[in-house]
Amino acid sequence: MEKVLVTGAFGQLGTELRLLTAGNPGFMFTDVREEGPVRLLDICDAAAVERFVTDNHIGAIVNCAAYTAVDQAESDEARCMAINVGGPVNLARSARRHGAALVQISTDYVFDGRRKSGIPYTEASRRHPVSVYGESKRRCEDAIRRIGCRGVIIRTAWLYSPFGKNFVKTMLRLGAERPEIGVVADQMGTPTYARDLAQAILKLLPQIGERRGEIYHYSNEGRCSWAQFASRIMEEGGLVCRVNPLTTDQYPTPATRPAWSVLSKEKIRKDFGVETPQWETSLHHCMVRMQK
């Protein structure tokens, strides 16, 4: 029986997929370390990828493995490109040889964020990354589409969950330690609850059909600044910590961030019937899980 391979099993999205499919023998999970049911697989090793796909009769691959240290990537470009481009290329080539489908995760960072405020990016919008991380994902998208395996590319943004390192967990920690913090208020986007994205992936997997490298957007609904997101996190967490708005110039980082990252989700809702809940609702659900 063909199985679904999920890479990057210890990351935010991979962890949510593990929880949602717990007990389902049709799913196999891998990462760069082996632990419990998670098996070892380095996606940058083409021969290892091919052996795994062949030996385990893989019929679909969900690639959650990625280099996501956006600022570090500016000085670690070779490693970022190896993981974000080379790894997915190995998966796509193996998927093509075996007729398997590939779900590849991409990012809002393929855009420069200079679009006029109020107009969401569509899947057809012009890409112009302004960071090494964003460029690695642009190259990944192009490479997968050239290879031509069955599957889809899903761009997402501002991912968070109860697991791993993310903005929500950082804000909760700082909010518990400090009476006030400064957070950038001139970068707008939409947070994405990793569990919602995982559920969307599970719904679209059996519907991929003969799509080949087609691009879709997925995030939650609505829009906010990082400062507004932080304020809502403090409120949900019952923390008395004032969030002071900063400009991007007041908070310089090695990598340039898009000032506008709102994505249109109309296409993925229409083609696959997935839900895109409001970001405030999803944040509340995540916080309830974390508090338990």
Name the residues annotated as catalytic. Answer: 133
Q: Do residues 276 and 282 touch, judged by C-beta distance below 8 A?
A: no
Q: What are phi and psi of 243, to 5 degrees?
A: -100, 115
Q: Do residues 24 and 178 touch, judged by C-beta distance below 8 A?
A: no
The helix (H) or strand (E) run that includes residue 152 is strand 150-156
- Which is it for strands 101-107 and 150-156: parallel, antiparallel or unpaired? parallel
For the record, the structure tokens of 162 come out as 């109860």
- Which is it for strands 27-31 and 3-7: parallel, antiparallel or unpaired? parallel
CB-based contacts of 192, cutoff 8 Å, min separation 6: 156, 157, 158, 159, 160, 218, 219, 220, 279
